[in-house]
Amino acid sequence: MRRTLHIGGLELESPVMLAPMAGYTDLPFRLIVRSFGGLGLAFTEMLSPPSVMRGREKRVKFLVATSPQDKPLGWQIYGKDPALLADAARWLADRGAPLIDVNMGCPQKKISGKGAGAGLLRKPDLAVEIARRVVEAVKVPVTVKIRLGWDNAQTAVDLAKEFEKLGVAAITVHGRTRVQKFEGKSDWEAIGNVRAAVDKVPVIANGDVVSVESARDVFRITGCAGIMLGRQPIKEPWIIRDIARDLNGEPPLPPPDARQRFELMMRHFQMCSDMYGEKQTVLHFRKWVPQYLKGRSVARPMLAALQQVKDAAELKARLMEVMM
């Protein structure tokens, strides 16, 4: 029996989601992950309301880029001004966004240090007011992504209860505090406490889901309705497919072999070129090269040389030599 998930009026074909990650989950990468199947929901990178609505930043057109194949897609906004976030949610919903997600979990100092993202966990009343204003502003489902707290796990429990009262459609909980950032282990039992604190709103578990086995464990320990993967799909874009198949009782598929990985990488490169232009993509792709080479024996000097290449043809030739 296929396992699905409802978030408000939105039915997802899978309870496995791809987390929004600044600098990584752009349209080309989302399409790469979707190509394997099993993905219930993906998200845009974090969107700054002033930048999106006024279009002042050059990157905005890339941040909001999507396609008919990129569905369903949640649009994630961040900030600390309730009125501005409500306006942004309304602006996006009016342009077809089927789901709005509010980021209250980003631990990066340039975000949380200014009171947005995980910084809102230090001001629970403001976090609740933001959720209320956004929910009231739109008719589409509104979800919230949080951490356990700034420095303790009780914050997430308290906020979840308030969010449920407001009509938030789902709550994603990363199993670390802001103080932890990405250190230590994700506390799945603490996520389970959040799930137990609410009656109806689905809780999505996030943090340290890196395999089919860990996905099974997080569902068992937390009792969550769904899971969200962040860093692992960057290394293995097919991991979401594998987890979704396992949830549906389907047999595993073999991971891509060397040739398939190379072809996948070249397809990713071409999609980025179509979007950003070839010259910019050569630079943009430097962060992806080490990810596609994970698990392969590549000498450090060779890896360093690959990340200095400035010509697309040379990069493709060198990658073929290394990967094949």
Query: How far is 37 from 83, CA to CA, in rounded Å?
Result: 37
pLDDT value of position 94: 94
Cut 0.75: pTM above it: yes
Domains contained in the chain, CATH given: 5-247 (3.20.20.70), 258-323 (1.10.1200)
> What sign results for the dihedral spanned by CA atoms 84, 88, 94, 100?
negative
Q: 32, 106, 190, 191: which is the annotated catalytic residue?
A: 106
Catalytic residue check, 272: no
User: Which amino acid belongs to residue 276?
Assistant: Y
Can you give the three-state secondary structure of 175-197, one letter per residue? CCCCCCCCCCCCCHHHHHHHHHH
pLDDT value of position 6: 96
pLDDT value of position 53: 81
pLDDT value of position 170: 98
> What does the block give as tokens for 251?
């047999």
Residue 23, sorted as left (phi over 0), alpha (psi -120 to 50) or beta, turns out to be left
pLDDT tens for the chain, 324 residues long, are 678 999 999 999 999 999 999 999 999 999 999 999 999 999 999 999 988 888 765 667 888 899 999 999 999 999 999 999 999 999 999 999 999 999 999 999 999 999 999 999 999 999 999 999 999 999 999 999 999 999 999 999 999 999 999 999 999 999 999 999 888 899 999 999 999 999 999 999 999 999 999 999 999 999 999 999 999 999 999 999 999 999 999 999 999 998 999 999 999 999 999 999 999 999 999 999 889 888 777 778 788 888 888 888 888 888 888 887
**Residue 174 DSSP SS3:** strand
Task: Say if residues 177 and 149 touch (Cβ distance below 8 Å).
Answer: yes
Task: Say if residues 191 and 149 touch (Cβ distance below 8 Å).
Answer: no
Which has the closest alpha carbon to 43: 19, 68, 8, 71?
19
pLDDT value of position 56: 60
